Amino acid sequence: MRDTNSKPESIVHEERAQLDFSKDMSYGDYLHLDEILNAQHPLSPAHDEMLFIVQHQTSELWMKLMLHELRAAMLAMANPADNTKPEAFKMLARVSRIMEQLVNAWTVLSTMTPPEYTAMRPYLANSSGFQSAQYRCIEFSLGNKNAAMLKPHAHRADLLAQVQAAYESPSLYDIALQLLAREGIDVPAEALQRDWTQPYAESEGVKQAWITVYSDPHKYWDLYQLGEKLTDIEDAFRLWRFRHLTTVERVIGFKRGTGGTGGVSYLKKMLDVVLFPEIWTLRTNL
């Protein structure tokens, strides 16, 4: 039985914890914490600017992971080998969980009041989350294509190349429909061979393809799971957008955004965007 009166230092020695890292890689070394924790540079004297910076930096880190998982899932789904589907589904499930983290991040930022934001807003100039290259890659990868959204990245060739690649490539939904076709589901040719730079248009034929899957889940179990993974992602993405909207309205009201958009009015329009339309409409027909 352990002596409950043991001193903390004796417990450390008993557990044989390594304490000397003069010659070994430490936790901070592995994670490059010096660089990360010294990347916050407030421009205003406002106390709350640190919250604003950390919120957006951590969101960018989560988005980096989301793109890592999303791109890998899309590659796996595009692979004709049948054994890649479980890997892709695990990655898509993780994408949904990452979005939950991003939704919760808005809850923290919503503690910033209008006077607190007003104190730091002039220092932001025209910078805005609207200009996030990673967010734009996510939007494009999920099918919300818009050529105008390439322009904010034209000043950075490296960023433009990333966003352009996502813009010109098939979306997650395009790849999902190709997978359905490979599995013997009748998917209209125009949904499989189209201009990937254009937003996806809802199709009655595609809805019937998904109805085939959902009408016999046991026969098409993998595709049925795929449909639900897509539903999870869009559900989580809608929540992310909605929390963004409510946080912005709570903090700045109906003022224009720093990036030049209408702010709340622009975000409300984004709520109407449906990424995987047939996944939702088929439910009425079942």
Both tokens of 223, joined, read 């595709």
d(CA 279, CA 282) in angstroms, rounded, equals 6
Alpha carbons within 13 angstroms on the beta-carbon side of residue 253 total 4
**Burial (0-12, 13-18, 19+ Cβ within 10 Å), 280:** middle
Query: Binding site annotation covers 258?
Result: yes
56 is in an annotated binding site: yes
Helix axes 49-78, 85-109, angle to 10 degrees: 170
Helix/strand/coil percent split, the chain, to 5: 65, 0, 35
Cα 170 to Cα 17, 51, 70, 246, 284, distances in angstroms: 50, 36, 13, 31, 27
Check the annotation: does 55 bind a ligand.
Answer: yes
244 is in an annotated binding site: yes
Please check if 68 is assigned to a binding site: no
User: Which residues are known binding-site members for substrate?
Assistant: 52-56, 117, 121, 258
Q: Which residues are annotated as a binding site?
A: 52-56, 117, 121, 244, 258
Residues annotated within a binding site for heme: 244
